[in-house]
Structure 1
Amino acid sequence: MTLSINTTRLQQDIETLSAIGRREDHGLYRMAFTEGDMEGRAWFKQQLEEAGLEVYEDGAANIHGRLNWDDETPAVVTGSHLDTVPAAGHLDGALGVLVGLECLRCIKEQNLPLRHPLEVISFTDEEGRFGGMAGSQAIAGQLTPESIHQAVDLDGVTLSEAMQQNGYDAMHALHARYRPEAIHAFVELHIEQGPILDQMGLSVGVVDAIAGLFKWEVSLIGTANHAGTTPMHMRNDAFQGLAEFSSEIQRILEENGSARSVATIGRVDIKPGAPNVVPGRVEFSLEARDTDAHTLEDLQHAFRKALSAIARRRNLMFEFKILSEIDPVKCDLGLVNDLEEVAKQLKHEPLIMASGAAHDTQMMARIARAAMVFVPSKGGRSHSSAEWTELVDIERGANVMLNALYKIAGEQQV
């Protein structure tokens, strides 16, 4: 038996939600607990109710839609997030929530037998207004009173204040935790947010690993001096140290990384920043990602070694501060195989691939078997109003999800 989603209904949901929080620049502004986010939440809860699903909102403000829920049998769970970055596109996160809703509606409408309850979750603040993935962290038991108190946005608004303004108590997020035995499996659909599927002309990717990362704030400190009177061989130019290090990144990745390793210098601050002054200090970000923890550790050692050598050679000081470290996640092999098998049954040749971006699956994998389905991002665009995925690719990915969820949760094999 092959199941199919109602493509017209899913398209209508996508279009309706994409109007919530949209501004004159055509971007979406549904940052967590803002007016747009709250409107999107209310709309989603209404859709769950109209679909005849049980609606539950936990202490972390995660919204749950449940089918055949009995509070005893482990559930098969799907979902993603409705919140956005500023000036966002309409599919990042939202597509996974809406596809989950559509899958549960289809299974309910056909009255298909289930061994496991089904649940779709819209997770809170995945995009990081207050740090990122607060909702899935709460369910995975990764929040603490301290982390909740310290969560603050770029304008100085705390998570506690924002939740209180909307009728929530942030400390109740500590009670949103799921027991690992309560979840049979977790599967998330998401746009790829990268160019690989689009360039290969493929509609479906199956994620077998999610990259971890380390992010540093690095300082190279030399001597500011007059740009006209200081000979080149007498300079302690901090920027030249950065330039040399930047040219070393590709070599370090090739020698110490893997085919999935990436590294980025995304921000640079040159001081004093005057055209006629030799830079005395340069501060920059360094972020590296890979799907293997040992590889990330090797990259950290290699980057430190290279920076230290450059600093000694150029008579500079080298300092760095760790801003964040996230462990990589391996997806459950059994679920990866299920998703691959279903895709092939539906005549799609899936690409087994890694996710370079963080997702709620990264948190859910701490307490449950987890995997992901990707659909293409046109031109690799995401976090932008130019974000786009063809409807045919959305339909194919959604049908993979529908048939996979029923294969995992149903009484009969698809």
Structure 2
Amino acid sequence: MKTFEVNLERIKSDILTLASIGRHTDDHGIYRMAFTDADMEGKRWLEDRFHDAGLSHQRDGAANVSTQIDGSSDLPRILVGSHIDTVPCAGALDGTLGVIVGLECLRCLQEAGVSVRRTIELVAFSDEEGRFGGMFGSQSVCGQINPEKLATLTDMNGVKLQDELRRHGLDPMAALDAARDPESIHGYLELHIEQGPVLDRLKKPVGIVDEITGLFTWAVRLKGEANHAGTTPMDMRNDAFMGLADFAHEIPRILEENGSDRSRATIGKAQILPGATNTVPGLVEFSLDVRDTSETILEELSVAFRKALSAIARRRNLMFEFELKSYLAPVQCSATMVDALKTQSTRLNLDAHAMPSGAAHDAQIMGRMVPVGMIFVPSKGGQSHSPAEWTAWSDIAAGANLMLHTLIELAN
């Protein structure tokens, strides 16, 4: 087969142009959060790029934007994609790179007149970053959205999803019609920046994801007794913060005894109340984020963390309670897709690194319904969700060419 390559200059132009939509001049961050005016402008820009390439486009009821190259058969199709919405003060590549690379692959196939048996469809999913609590676009495609969710989903400021959709002239209930028949999809492939330091430190141009981590998050409360910092002896205190300190020191032991080398646990947010310098803390509220690629290990870690918190609460004379805020099951990437990626990386002389994904992506949602595969490209310094997020153009080209040739293999 003739070796085709992506047009890197076209990828550069698309990335830098889309990055200007929603960028703030004060902190140089991109603010293209889901269903904001900037996000909808980004969707229109993407549809214009489809039109310029001579490709038709569609929007489903969840405002997922898509285009496709038609195959010569009615075999189940290949989906490729990611998202263009961002977190606040974002960089230019998270999600966006996968959509732009997918578009470039379709343009290359069309321009070169490459015939494929399976239709290849590019999808830019809505709200992967979870402004409204989940991955709305891919969840809609997988039939995980229902009328109750549509009526109750809100963002951190209390804005209702259904109100934001109506503001843009969209019917919230139409999201229910975005669900796809799993039998119509052969598999889903996504390219993404790693958002971590591994590939950058190993000097590897691409990563091939074998597993996508599962996770659970808790909101934890340790309740003691607020009291005077000067008059309450140390051995007579019910100090809620000391309970948190004890638990934080227990995390490495619990991971070592109950986890794996792919386990992670993070206390990312904590509030100490009443919050006065001269008052013994009577209440501590904190978050716990736990991740692993094994559902069994996640359950074992959950049990171990509960036992540790209960023991600390008894020892410190505290009350302990927690609420499960979210749970995502781990996903195994398709062996067929992993093998195809390995074959094409060898053919392209790319030194690929097999690795897990420690972050959730649309592929994690899609993986509950259809076979999935993921390509990672390095993140400079491991930075992401910040204006400092970047990937070398040479690595972007490597990942894009790997995507292009893997799509050809999978589609034929």
TMscore range, shorter length = over 0.9
Pairs aligned (count): 410
Counterparts of 1:12 and 1:235 in 2: how far apart (Å)? 62
Is 1:329 the equivalent of 2:331? yes
Counterparts of 1:106 and 1:63 in 2: how far apart (Å)? 20
Counterparts of 1:48 and 1:190 in 2: how far apart (Å)? 21
Paired letter, 1:303: F
**1:113-124 alignment, distance < 5 Å:** 113-124=115-126
Shift in Å at residue 226 of structure 1? 1.0
- Sort the Cα spacing of 1:269 and 1:34 in 2 relative to 1 into closer, same or farther, 3 A: same
Which of 161, 168, 171 is 1:169 aligned to?
171
**1:6-405 alignment, distance < 5 Å:** 6-24=7-25, 25-68=27-70, 72-405=74-407
| The 10-residue stretch of structure 1 (216-225 or 371-380) with the greater mean CA deviation from structure 2 | 216-225
8 Å Cα contact 1:72-1:182 kept in structure 2: no
Counterparts of 2:71 and 2:271 in 1: how far apart (Å)? 53
Moved over 2 A (4+): 69-73
Counterparts of 2:36 and 2:74 in 1: how far apart (Å)? 35
Paired letter, 2:369: I
Aligned Cα RMSD in Å? Answer: 1.1
3-state DSSP of counterpart to 1:54? coil
Which digits, 9 at most, give the CA deviation of each residue in 1:212-261, with x for residues without a partner?
Answer: 11111111111111111111111111111110110000000010001000
Paired letter, 1:267: K
Shift in Å at residue 316 of structure 1? 1.1
Counterparts of 1:257 and 1:284 in 2: how far apart (Å)? 21
Counterparts of 2:311 and 2:48 in 1: how far apart (Å)? 60
8 Å Cα contact 1:51-1:105 kept in structure 2: yes
Paired letter, 1:100: G
Counterparts of 1:70 and 1:41 in 2: how far apart (Å)? 29
Counterparts of 2:303 and 2:35 in 1: how far apart (Å)? 40
Which digits, 9 at most, give the CA deviation of each residue in 1:78-108, with x for residues without a partner?
Answer: 0000100111000000000000000000011
Counterparts of 1:72 and 1:4 in 2: how far apart (Å)? 27
Counterparts of 2:63 and 2:71 in 1: how far apart (Å)? 19
8 Å Cα contact 1:261-1:289 kept in structure 2: yes
Unaligned runs of 5+ in 1: none
Percent of residue pairs bearing the same amino acid type: 55
Paired letter, 1:23: H
Counterparts of 1:155 and 1:234 in 2: how far apart (Å)? 40
Shift in Å at residue 193 of structure 1? 0.5
Shift in Å at residue 71 of structure 1? 9.7
Unaligned runs of 5+ in 2: none
- Sort the Cα spacing of 1:189 and 1:8 in 2 relative to 1 into closer, same or farther, 3 A: same
| The 10-residue stretch of structure 1 (298-307 or 271-280) with the greater mean CA deviation from structure 2 | 271-280
- Sort the Cα spacing of 1:326 and 1:256 in 2 relative to 1 into closer, same or farther, 3 A: same
Counterparts of 1:156 and 1:322 in 2: how far apart (Å)? 20
8 Å Cα contact 2:93-2:193 kept in structure 1: yes
Shift in Å at residue 337 of structure 1? 1.1
Counterparts of 1:89 and 1:392 in 2: how far apart (Å)? 18
8 Å Cα contact 2:72-2:117 kept in structure 1: no
3-state DSSP of counterpart to 2:301? helix
8 Å Cα contact 1:54-1:67 kept in structure 2: no
3-state DSSP of counterpart to 1:80? strand
Shift in Å at residue 56 of structure 1? 1.0
Which digits, 9 at most, give the CA deviation of each residue in 1:3-49, with x for residues without a partner?
Answer: 21011111111111111111111111111111111111111001111
| The 10-residue stretch of structure 1 (33-42 or 370-379) with the greater mean CA deviation from structure 2 | 33-42
- Could you tell me the TM-score, scaled by structure 1's length? 0.97
Counterparts of 2:344 and 2:385 in 1: how far apart (Å)? 29
Counterparts of 1:72 and 1:136 in 2: how far apart (Å)? 23
- Sort the Cα spacing of 1:212 and 1:385 in 2 relative to 1 into closer, same or farther, 3 A: same
Shift in Å at residue 54 of structure 1? 2.2
3-state DSSP of counterpart to 2:57? strand
Counterparts of 2:72 and 2:86 in 1: how far apart (Å)? 32
Counterparts of 2:168 and 2:19 in 1: how far apart (Å)? 22
Shift in Å at residue 73 of structure 1? 3.0
8 Å Cα contact 1:219-1:283 kept in structure 2: yes
